[in-house]
Structure 1
Amino acid sequence: MATVAQQLNGGRIEWMLVGSAATALRGAAIIAGDIDIAIRTAGDVTRAAALLLTPAAPQLDEPPDWISTAAEPTLHFGDAGERWTFGRWIVDGVKVELAHIDAPSAAELMIETRAPMVWRVRETLNCHGHPVPTVPIEVQLATMIARHQDARIAATLAALDGTPLNLPLLRRAISDKRSEAPDLTVPESLQHLLAQDQPATD
């Protein structure tokens, strides 16, 4: 993570750590399978190819289906509802995936990865002295709830160790996530937190 942060920061790429690596960087007791990074613009995904390692061919025992190379730094796929500009690298033996996702339907939603609104509330963490712009934990918790990742929620709350959550942001993120997961059910471990400071109703 420190290597990637140094390269992206040095190249003035506007980025944000998301996914399990973002949760792990906060100290949660989980093992991140890879490093997932959201990139603010499609052009910056291509620019990142000049910063990250782009071998002519992968030198791996079990290479993924596709990785970025100097000849083919990015993939483009999707449709009018969701267009991806995507790159995948292997950095110090770790899979690193960068993506810009243009999803007009998510423009006004506070959801991880695809929504422009999340960029306004990024948090900056630190990895071996390198700043790491990171998705807010409240927005990540909404993703975990939708995916029924109860063990990850428990590990995340344990890592926070009493650090207060931004409850208005958490409520907004859960509400917006329901646009994609209508059956989203908030676990009991979070229900009592969300009930705090709520206005009384008749």
Structure 2
Amino acid sequence: MSEQIHFDIEIVRAVDCTRLGWPALDQRQEGGRLGGNHEYVDLRHISWAEAVDIADEERGIIDRIERADDPDAEWTVIEEELEEDPGLMVLIDLGIASTVAALSAAGCITVSSCNGGAYGDHHHERYPLVAFYARRQHVPLLLGAAERAGVGIENDPDGAVVVYADAIDRMPIFAAALIEDRAGFEALPPVK
């Protein structure tokens, strides 16, 4: 692990509500391979309190890595600790977990996520991102949080939305903005 990577990606904030999809119930069930993700897990059961806890845990891990004399060795120790106490931080890439948790608490359906290799190793995506399904009523709050965090947010061709960043540290800021707006999300009609 080294100094933070800057990803060469144009930041765009535009979501066309007419292009939003919403997966059927059978697609959202475990093993449904939603969005082609063979490891898909429906995380909409995550509460706002859990999202705050996950954001705090992620921030603590990132702080440990950044303060370490040998960040790679510290990450190895952290990975071993996480294996002893499995949770969302084992399933989701570091730097992205807080965003996945906050989107889930907001009632969105996260499909896939990747930190783009921001903390080393090979990753599937070229930059940090989370793909998710959202309802029309989510969009104004999502766009506002994206603006405050400096992240991009756009439709993808399959009816989902993708939030992404040119630096990994912006993703937890987006998560914090969503958590800050939780009252707005809670006021929305429930999504089935």
- State the TM-score bracket (shorter-chain normalisation): under 0.3
Judging by fraction of residues, say which structure has more strand: 1
Identify the structure with bigger relative contact order (alpha carbons < 8 Å, sequence gap 6+).
2
Decide which structure has the larger Cα Rg and report it: 1
Judging by fraction of residues, say which structure has more helix: 2
TM-score after normalising by structure 2: 0.25
TM-score after normalising by structure 1: 0.24
